[in-house]
């Protein structure tokens, strides 16, 4: 009578056969249907997988597939759908987990497929973005066309719906990431064409990863194919398709993705699909009313009426998320309020005038006075303005500097011109000497007339310049070039307000 050994897996008594003979209980279990499905031994659900048409594609078991991919260790089947089957695998050399996706063998029957596959694979490989599932490798192994992709440990959006959905705050964190990924792809000229909750993955850190870019185009899924075997899952895919994608699939552009995003967005917020006459999200759940506009605009049936760029969706969503009006500009960090500016400039001008006159009165020549003023008013204020650019003092200094510079330029000019007007003769003499023109009797009158005209023009030019440059400077300080601002600038540029402000 020998001692009985126990099977390490099921605890059954082992027969006294050879040391290697398999445990009978485990052998019997081989017959169970469910064991064969979980070919590697792990659960087939609860990992991100795309869904599709069940039963149409019978994927090989993980172990059988393992032989076809010598460079990978196939661990388990994660999911299967109309677009193929996904397995969890390991690259032994790099000791990292990857996802292996194989396409249904029937795709290979089309002789042109190989070329399309190579082209699409290259396009997909170009996409390198933190929110897009990366493609590591692709090719053909025996009868299987395959992709080796980034393995994402987490769930897809469909699974979050099944467990009650995400709270609105998280939805508003997810959508911008989807927008980033889509905008990036659109910039690369790639349209996803099959955005749906099953294709949006969330990893353990809450980061969005979009999968299956370009697969819809590669597999040529025409709408007709989706109407076969009306299981709920297949028909569901239609709901995410833009209207133009169903009517004219060849003329679809990136705006189809925006529509699908709108559907997903709506479903994320409300848990329902926007079918028929649907209520805006704010009426169904506790979300900001301004989101309604965003979602509805994304869901516009006419592509022309929709958002034209995904990045616009992101901007709008983010501004709603921050609780701010979309049109309100960010607070001006540097510029003093409008109604302070003109009096301040006036004060600066007056100050300059006083200083200059005082220096002159002290007996110094105008030239010297001018140099002093430049040294002690213009230069310091300009330097302060430059150094303390982003502070309030800096912005005031900027105004001072501009006023001083203007004064430093205009006052001498004005004095010179005034002197010339008063007595043009010395200047004329100098002109006669240099040019050798003979003096005439009406020269002085002519010159005076010219001077008046010129002075007037100069004055106009000066004010106009102040208006334009001042406006541009203000716009740049503000960071925005809206016409609203320009109007404000016009008001403050010196044409009307100084008249008002002057005592």
Which residues are identified as catalytic? 194
**111 belongs to the binding site for other proteins (CB under 8 A):** no
Rg over alpha carbons for the chain, rounded to the nearest Å, is 38
Residue 399 near residue 344 (C-beta atoms within 8 A): yes
Q: Tell whether residue 24 is a contact of other proteins (CB under 8 A).
A: yes
Residue 251 in contact with residue 225, Cβ under 8 Å? no
Q: At closest approach, how far in Å is the CB of 62 from other proteins? A: 9
Q: Which of 5, 36, 46, 432 binds other proteins (CB under 8 A)?
A: 36
Rule CB under 8 A: is residue 20 a binding residue for other proteins?
yes
Q: Is 43 in the site for other proteins (CB under 8 A)?
A: no
Question: Using CB atoms within 10 A of its CB, is residue 282 exposed (0-12), middle (13-18) or buried (19+)?
Answer: middle
| # residues near other proteins by CB under 8 A | 31
Q: Which of residues 234-273 bind other proteins (CB under 8 A)?
A: none
CA pseudo-torsion sign 151, 157, 162, 163: positive
Label residue 441 exposed, middle or buried (CB < 10 Å: 0-12, 13-18, 19+). Answer: exposed
Q: Give the nearer residue to other proteins in terms of CB position, either 67 or 223.
A: 67
Which span sits near other proteins by CB under 8 A: 21-29, 126-134, 245-253, 289-297? 21-29
Span of 6-14, 78-86, 216-224, 226-234 interacting with other proteins by CB under 8 A: 6-14
CB of residue 87 to other proteins, shortest distance in Å: 14
Q: How far apart are the C-alpha atoms of 464 and 456, rounded to whole Å?
A: 12
DSSP 297-351: HHT-SSTTTS-S-HHHHHHHHHHHHTT--SSSPPP-SSPPPHHHHHHHHHHHHHH
Question: Is residue 32 near other proteins by the rule CB under 8 A?
Answer: yes
Segment interacting with other proteins (CB under 8 A) among 28-36, 158-166, 226-234, 275-283: 28-36
Instruction: Give whichever of 41 and 164 is closer to other proteins, judged by the CB atom.
Output: 41
Nearer to other proteins, 75 or 219 (CB): 75
The encoded tokens of residue 87 equal 């397995």
The helix/strand/coil state of 208 is strand
Give CA separation, 92 vs 89, 96, 136, 163, in Å.
9, 7, 15, 35
70 vs 93 by CB, closer to other proteins: 70
Strand runs labelled E in 198-258: 200-203, 208-210
| Smallest separation (angstroms) from other proteins to the CB of 92 | 10
Helix-helix angle 310-321:168-187, to 10 degrees:
160
Contact with other proteins (CB under 8 A) among 15, 130, 206, 223: 15
**Which of 1, 112, 275, 422 contacts other proteins by CB under 8 A?**
1
Interface mask toward other proteins for 48-87; x: CB under 8 A: -------------x-xx-xxx-x-----------------
| Residue 166: HSE in the Cβ half-sphere, 13 Å Cα cutoff | 23
Specify the residue, 34 or 483, whose C-beta has the smaller distance to other proteins. Answer: 34
Query: Which is closer to other proteins, CB of 141 or CB of 173?
Result: 141
Closest-CA residue to 274 (of 257, 296, 243, 247)? 296
Helix axes 392-422, 443-478, angle to 10 degrees: 170
| Residues 282, 267 contacting (CB under 8 angstroms) | no
Among 2, 250, 286, 438, binds other proteins (CB under 8 A): 2
User: Which residue's CB is nearer to other proteins, number 137 or number 486?
Assistant: 137
Beta strands at 200-203 and 208-210: parallel, antiparallel or unpaired: antiparallel
User: Which of residues 54 and 439 has its CB atom nearest to other proteins in the complex?
Assistant: 54
Least distance CB 89 / other proteins (angstroms): 14
Supply the minimum distance, in Å, between the C-beta of residue 53 and other proteins.
19
- Sheet of 208-210: strand order equals 154-156, 200-203, 208-210
Under a CB-based contact definition with an 8 Å cutoff, are residues 26 and 7 in contact? yes
Per the CB < 8 A criterion, the answer to whether 81 and 50 are in contact is yes
* Least gap, CB of 268 to other proteins (angstroms): 38
CB of 6 to other proteins, least distance (A): 10
- Give the count of alpha carbons within 13 A of 23, CB side only: 15
In the list 5, 16, 301, 354, the residue contacting other proteins (rule: CB under 8 A) is: 16
Using the rule CB under 8 A, which residue among 5, 29, 122, 501 binds other proteins? 29
Q: According to the binding rule CB under 8 A, does residue 10 interact with other proteins? A: yes
Enumerate residues 413-452 that contact other proteins by CB under 8 A: none
Q: Could you tell me the CA-to-CA distances from 308 to 86, 359, 458, 464 in Å, in that order?
A: 34, 63, 47, 39
Q: Is 11 near other proteins (CB under 8 A)?
A: yes
Run of H or E residues at 186:
helix 168-187
106 part of the interface to other proteins, by CB under 8 A: no
- Which among 19-27, 151-159, 250-258, 308-316 is the span making contact with other proteins, rule CB under 8 A? 19-27
Bridge partners (DSSP) listed for residue 37: none
CB of 18 to other proteins, least distance (A): 9
In whole angstroms, the minimum distance from the beta carbon of 179 to other proteins comes to 43
**CB nearer to other proteins: pick between 146 and 265:** 146
Of 231, 302, 240, 234, nearest in space to 267 by CA: 240
Q: Applying CB under 8 A, which residues contact other proteins?
A: 1-2, 4, 9-12, 15-16, 20-33, 36, 61, 63-64, 66-68, 70
């Amino acid at each position: 009578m020998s001692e009985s050994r126990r099977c390490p897996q099921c605890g059954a008594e082992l027969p006294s056969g050879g040391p290697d003979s398999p445990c009978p209980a485990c052998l019997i279990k081989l017959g169970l249907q469910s064991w064969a499905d979980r070919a590697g031994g792990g659960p087939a659900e609860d990992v991100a997988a795309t869904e599709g048409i069940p039963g149409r594609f019978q994927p090989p078991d993980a172990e059988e597939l393992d032989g076809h991919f010598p460079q990978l260790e196939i661990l388990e089947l994660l999911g299967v759908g109309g677009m193929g089957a996904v397995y969890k695998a390991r690259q032994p050399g790099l000791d990292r987990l990857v996802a292996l996706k194989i396409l249904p063998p029937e795709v290979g029957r089309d002789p042109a497929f190989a070329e399309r596959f190579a082209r699409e694979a290259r396009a997909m490989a170009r996409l390198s973005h933190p929110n897009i599932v990366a493609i590591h490798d692709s090719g053909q192994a025996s009868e299987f066309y395959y992709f080796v992709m980034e393995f994402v440990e987490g769930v897809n959006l469909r699974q979050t719906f099944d467990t009650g959905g995400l709270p609105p705050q998280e939805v508003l964190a997810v959508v911008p990431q989807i927008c980033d990924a889509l905008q990036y792809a659109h910039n690369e000229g790639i349209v996803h064409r099959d955005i749906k909750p099953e294709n949006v993955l969330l990893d353990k850190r809450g980061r969005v990863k979009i999968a299956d870019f370009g697969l819809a185009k590669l597999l040529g899924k025409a709408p007709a194919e989706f109407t076969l075997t009306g299981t709920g899952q297949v028909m569901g895919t239609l709901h995410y398709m833009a209207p133009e994608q169903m009517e004219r699939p060849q003329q679809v552009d990136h705006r189809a993705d925006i529509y699908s995003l709108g559907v997903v967005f709506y479903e994320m917020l409300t848990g329902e699909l926007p079918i028929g006459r649907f209520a805006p999200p704010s009426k169904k759940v506790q979300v900001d009313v301004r989101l309604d506009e965003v979602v509805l605009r994304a869901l516009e049936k006419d592509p022309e009426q929709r958002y034209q760029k995904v990045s616009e969706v992101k901007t709008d969503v983010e501004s709603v998320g921050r609780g701010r009006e979309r049109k309100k500009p960010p607070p001006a960090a540097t510029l003093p309020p409008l109604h302070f500016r003109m009096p301040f400039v006036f004060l600066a001008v007056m100050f300059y005038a006083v200083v200059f006159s005082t220096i002159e009165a002290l007996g110094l020549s105008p030239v010297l006075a001018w140099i002093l003023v430049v040294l002690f008013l213009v230069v310091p204020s300009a330097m302060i303005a430059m150094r303390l650019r982003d502070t309030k003092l800096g912005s005031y200094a900027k105004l001072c500097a501009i006023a001083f510079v203007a004064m430093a330029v205009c006052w001498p000019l004005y004095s010179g011109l005034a002197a010339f007007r008063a007595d043009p003769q010395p200047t004329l003499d100098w002109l006669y000497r240099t040019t050798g023109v003979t003096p005439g009797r009406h020269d002085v009158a002519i010159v005076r007339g010219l001077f008046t005209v010129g002075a007037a023009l100069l004055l106009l030019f000066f004010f106009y310049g102040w208006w334009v440059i001042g406006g541009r400077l203000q716009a740049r300080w503000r960071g925005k070039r809206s016409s609203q601002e320009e109007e404000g600038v016009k008001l403050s540029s010196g044409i009307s307000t100084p008249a008002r402000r002057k005592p």
